[in-house]
Amino acid sequence: MVYKAIFHLEYLLSNVIVNKILNKKWHFYYIFAACTSLKTNQQTIIMKRFLNLWFFLGLLLMTSCVAKKKFLELEQEKNSLSSSLDETRTQVTNLESEKATLTSEKQSLQSELSSAESNLVNSKGEVTSLKSAIEEKDESIKKLESEMDVVFKNVKTVMMSNDQSMREVDNKLYLVMNDPITFKSGSARIQKDDMEVLEKVATILKADTTIHYIIEGHTDNRPISNAQYKDNWDLSTRRSAAVAKQLAKLGVNPLQFTIAGRSDFMPVLSGEDLSKEDMENNRRVEFIALPNISDLYKKS
């Protein structure tokens, strides 16, 4: 009888544990009624088992709460790690892409460097060749200058005896006359005072027939247009032609000179307020010496 009561109580206690979890509390009343019908020592045994079962229940509930809390923490940590892993994968992908870009740029730069080094080698060779060519030209120029000094030696001697000289203007050699040949305004007629000057010029030209001369005519800045002269170009050319004809009469070979007209574009003096004397100096004829240097080039 006692054992059946104990068994019945244990059964009720097990149902209590289950229903405790299910939040059903009415089984406690049956447990209390069953215990009061037993003797004192039997009640003691049952209460001990009841307490042991409650202790086990409390331990189970506590373990369940801790496990659930731990599970939630681990779940949260797992989510955090998963997120960090995704970010890391994204960073790795970006870094790999950046690495590929940098590798491509490196290869491109290496190619450019190789090309630049090759060009540098070629440029050094070209510079060396150019230096060599310049040195050769310098030597040739020195030889030409020496040969030209020989060519002009007789001319210089004749010039000095006739009170004439040479000057360089814009890489051209001009015959400098103490008394320049000038003209009256709007005229190409040689004045009587200039005949003596032309005789000296003829003597200089005949001193070395290898030197060719350009007879260059000029005008002042006043425009002209009449039945005799179309414009300043025409007038300046007529002045050089008049001088050439007179030199031919004085015995100079006509093949030794060429006539040219520069109109009013190369004045000795320029400006708006020019005096009559300044205007007269602009109406002139000049002589440019052109030595025959073909033989000199052959020698060089």
For the cut 60, the answer to whether the pLDDT of residue 9 exceeds it is no
Q: What 3-state DSSP class applies to 118?
A: helix
98: left (phi over 0), alpha (psi -120 to 50) or beta: alpha
Q: Exposed, middle or buried, 197 (CB in 10 Å: 0-12/13-18/19+)?
A: buried
Q: Output the pLDDT for position 40.
A: 59
Residue after which a domain boundary falls, among 80, 100, 129: 80
In the block, tokens 């030595």 appear at: 291
* Same domain flag for 62 and 165: no
Give yes or no for a contact between 204 and 155, defined as CB atoms under 8 angstroms apart.
yes
Model pTM?
A: 0.50
* Residue where a domain terminates, one of 64, 80, 96: 80
- Asked if the structure places residue 293 within a domain, the reply is yes
Out of 59, 80, 101, a domain closes at 80
Amino acid 25: pLDDT: 45
In the prediction, which pLDDT does 62 show? 61
Overall domain count for the chain:
2
Domain of residue 269, CATH code: 3.30.1330.60
Which residue would you say has higher pLDDT here, 207 or 31? 207
Q: What is the mean pLDDT of residues 121-143?
A: 78
Which domain covers residue 23, as residue numbers? 2-80
